[in-house]
Amino acid sequence: MATLLFRKSRTLLLAHNNHQHLQNKLALLVRTRSRSSPFVNYCSNSRILPSSSHPFLPSSSRYESTEAQPQLEDLQHQVTHHDDQMIDFPGGKVGFTSEMSFISDTSHIRVPCYRVLDDDGELVNHTNHVQVSKELAVRMHSEMVTLQTMDSIFYELQRQGRISFYLTTSGEEAVNIASAAALSSHDVILPQYREPGVLLWRGFTLQQFAHQCFGNTNDLGKGRQMPIHYGSNKHNYFTVSSPIATQLPQAVGAAYSLKMDGKSACAVTFCGDGSTSEGDFHAALNFAAVMEAPVVFICRNNGWAISTPVEEQFRSDGIVVKGQAYGIWSIRVDGNDALAVYSAVHTAREIAIKEQRPVLIEALTYRVGHHSTSDDSTKYRSTGEIEYWKMERNPVNRFKRWVEKNGWSSEKDELELRSSVRKQLMHAIQVAEKAQKPPLEDMFTDVYDQLSSNLEEQERELRQTIEKHPKDYLSDVPL
């Protein structure tokens, strides 16, 4: 199965027509794990979960632990350390004990969450984060505001019946923009569906977003996808796929392809907390660990998988501990803290490329908006809860405070920015709405070099049906 997934992902990557040449290959960093890990240096305010905590792995193992879990430490004193009392089992020596003890289901102390900015936009004490320049910070804030404005307008368009579907990133703007800012344009993105900010950061224009949502002839997908299912070869952003978690094992295959080709780049894939209940999530993590693929998994734990709260979805301490179980370095970050997200993703990328290993990031955030325009979240959560996260823990406002305290922007600058973005969007919508729809034949092309007989038959039947019932079909679609 893993081989098939790799082959599929490699084929997808090689078919990436406009895929730019990546930077020269960095020499693989061959060393045992030590406390000088980049994660420990940059994220000293948070606990890093090592990929293994067993004391009897060979010293040359790339998964040698730097810090063991407390619950396992309680068992280690029971282990006999004499060589004749160990079994040399595949993966390393395992000690024996005469005491029957079970590892508990979860630790009583939850894994802490790495943060750089407090809720007021102030740097927390003793933080050691990746520094962000004025230019980068101002752009991050600008793109978060743009994303927020775009979501608001397109959501209203759907409510007016002008587009068929939409979902917002409200409350998750920091995960979108800060992660994108920390990556290289050469890194390959395999999104879920709530990461348009990554594409926005990479240069996808507001006009292109509008074309896709209206599904016209200027849409790169030729109107074949639902709104918000963006994709762009030019921007190394694979097309959004609705089925949950399918992008995760594909990302591992893409990452392994980059590794085989000696590229100085990694694959980055996003998912929500609901995706961790899919088998593809677990297959992907195990696949990545075993193949030592340079892939960064970013899980947006926003509290809700549509209407299912996390406490009804898993018993573990969130998602971060799942990485450790599969032998992957993992970290939990405050997903509403743009600086924390930027630092964690920047560091994870370095680890993935220099050390050729996967990394899992759990970003604690909150989905302020409804799951989509097909959902009414007030049916399963209180308006008070929504308002608290919208007002008190707003990621855009928090980052804005920090930028303004540095004297890099002002309230006036933001008001002018919002006005400018709104004007650009309204113009883009007018253009996209007037553009011609793709011809009917585009429904069947671009899959096979020559149209197969069954597709030819389907097209004939569709045209015959339209002729019989012309009023049931859109008149602006060229036949």
User: In the annotation, is 372 catalytic?
Assistant: yes
Query: If residue 209 lies in a helix (H) or strand (E), which one and from where to where?
Result: helix 206-214
User: In the annotation, is 36 catalytic?
Assistant: no
Instruction: Quote the DSSP letter at residue 436.
Output: P
Q: Indicate which residue of 316, 372, 420, 459 is catalytic.
A: 372
Strands 267-272 and 188-190, sheet pairing: parallel
- Alpha-carbon distances of 421 from 180, 232, 324, rounded to whole Å: 20, 22, 42
Q: Assess contact for 215 and 378: CB atoms under 8 A.
A: no
Query: If residue 346 lies in a helix (H) or strand (E), which one and from where to where?
Result: helix 338-354
- Angle at CA of residue 255, ends 252 and 257, nearest 5°: 110
Query: If residue 270 lies in a helix (H) or strand (E), which one and from where to where?
Result: strand 267-272
Return all residues near 396 (Cβ < 8 A) that are at least 6 apart: 141, 144, 145, 148, 173, 174
- Angle at CA of residue 96, ends 93 and 102, nearest 5°: 110
Q: Indicate which residue of 229, 350, 371, 409 is catalytic.
A: 371
Q: Indicate which residue of 73, 122, 156, 416 is catalytic.
A: 156
User: In whole angstroms, what is the distance from residue 90 CA to residue 57 CA?
Assistant: 10
Phi, psi angles (nearest 5°) of residue 236: 55, 45
End-to-end CA distance of the chain: 42
For residue 470, with 0-12 CB atoms within 10 Å meaning exposed, 13-18 middle and 19 or more buried, which class applies?
A: exposed
Q: Distance from CA of residue 365 to its chain's centroid?
A: 13
Q: Indicate which residue of 242, 307, 374, 452 is catalytic.
A: 242
CB-hemisphere CA count at 13 Å for 24? 1
Return all residues near 397 (Cβ < 8 A) that are at least 6 apart: 121
Strands 308-309 and 92-95, sheet pairing: unpaired
Token reading at 374: 């097909």
- Alpha-carbon distances of 317 from 108, 132, 321, rounded to whole Å: 9, 31, 6
Residues with active-site annotation: 156, 242, 371-372
